[in-house]
Amino acid sequence: MIKKRIGSQTIKFPNPPSIIGTSSIVGPKEGDGPLKDYFDIILEDDTWAQESFEKAEAKIQEEAIKLAISNANISMNDLQYLVSGDLLNQIISSSYTARQITLPYFGLYGACSTMTESLSIGSMIVEGGFADKVVCATSSHFSSAERQFRFPLEYGSQRSFASQWTVTGAGATILSATGEGPYITYITPGKIKDFGITDTNNMGGAMAPAAIDTISQHFKDTGYNPDDYDLIITGDLGLVGKRIVLDLMRKEGYDLSQNYTDCGIKIFDGVEQDTHAGGSGCACSAVVFNGYIYKEMLKGNLNRVLLISTGALHSPISTLQGESIPGIAHAVTIDNLKD
């Protein structure tokens, strides 16, 4: 048996699964942002003519999956599993999407880390020989997240400077045992890190330790250095989390100043669009990866990318009870070459 694990937390795939198609659908605000040219569909109406924001989010995810299938030039029958998740209670967006998609379904809850969590599990299924092709997807919606985690939309409150803006959108990735790349070559699933942050307006600060732990463990396990990557990008740490990652990674002995950024910073123009610390939500890293990163990799502008989606695994109830925010971060290496 080939030993696929290296170091203490990383998996190296001897036969890396290939990404054969992706899709990204975003709302109007994201479609106004700096990455607008990379998204497949930009909605003019963030309810997409649905009667609730929850239904709209499920529709966005469903359409993203169908679009990824058509972008990969395959049909639904070629796929064996759907691996997806989202932010809403009992992951309803994903389950109602799975109701429409006739595939065996693994529902995940990793909050905003869902994109790399689904890519990790999808890769293991494909590389392990349990499926030929799987689809990994996730979604979030500003308005469905606001009403679950924060205030009604029309309530006149002020947002803190550390707060972030949930991205409306969905991304889907088709992984295949065969293909021309880009490939998923390594995954480093993360451990929960919780340094006792209770302020739900400071998600970046709450999740940064998990990102730092996973990234440094990834380097230790793989022997890679920051220089080996064209881009190292976290999911939704925003401006506050990015500062912490740069600062504390330097103290760990890794200089990320040349090639590190965050999807939440890339997706919005923080000043123009008044998003404070940046974007967040499952869709943040999903649309930045399936839109921007994937297309830049196909063009050859990026060749090896470390994507680390980050999640804050609290709930409105745990927050009210004064519990701190458990952070998680899963890293995935996407490479144009098999190794």
Binding stretches for other proteins (CB under 8 A): 51-52, 147, 151-162, 195-197, 202, 205-206, 208-209, 212-213, 216, 239-240, 243-244, 247-248, 251-252
Q: Rounded to the nearest 5 degrees, what angle is found at the Cα of 280, between the Cα atoms of 8 and 296?
A: 75
Of 244, 241, 260, 261, which Cα lies nearest the Cα of 252?
244
CB of 162 to other proteins, least distance (A): 4
Query: Using the 8-state DSSP alphabet, how is residue 314 labeled?
Result: -
Of 127, 108, 80, which Cα lies nearest the Cα of 286?
108
Helix (H) or strand (E) holding 22: strand 18-26
Rounded to whole angstroms, how far apart are CA atoms 206 and 187?
Answer: 22
Give the CA dihedral 42, 47, 50, 56, nearest 10 degrees: 70
CB of 102 to other proteins, least distance (A): 28
Of the two residues 286 and 329, which places its CB atom closer to other proteins in the complex? 329
CB of 220 to other proteins, least distance (A): 13
Q: Which DSSP string corresponds to 161-189?
A: TT--EEPPEEEEEEEESS-SS-EEEEEEP
CB of 252 to other proteins, least distance (A): 6
Whole-angstrom distance between the N-terminal and C-terminal Cα of the chain? 20
CB of 324 to other proteins, least distance (A): 8
Of the two residues 152 and 322, which places its CB atom closer to other proteins in the complex? 152
Taking the CB of residue 246, how many other CB atoms lie within 10 A of it?
17
Helix (H) or strand (E) holding 159: none
Of the two residues 75 and 157, which places its CB atom closer to other proteins in the complex? 157
Q: Do 190 and 214 meet the contact criterion of CB atoms below 8 Å apart?
A: yes
CB of 323 to other proteins, least distance (A): 13
Q: Do 87 and 140 meet the contact criterion of CB atoms below 8 Å apart?
A: yes
In the block, tokens 């929850």 appear at 54
In the block, tokens 């990026």 appear at 302
CB of 309 to other proteins, least distance (A): 19
Rounded to whole angstroms, how far apart are CA atoms 83 and 115?
Answer: 10
Of the two residues 21 and 278, which places its CB atom closer to other proteins in the complex? 278
CB of 216 to other proteins, least distance (A): 7
Of the two residues 115 and 197, which places its CB atom closer to other proteins in the complex? 197
Of the two residues 158 and 321, which places its CB atom closer to other proteins in the complex? 158
Of the two residues 244 and 286, which places its CB atom closer to other proteins in the complex? 244
Of the two residues 43 and 162, which places its CB atom closer to other proteins in the complex? 162
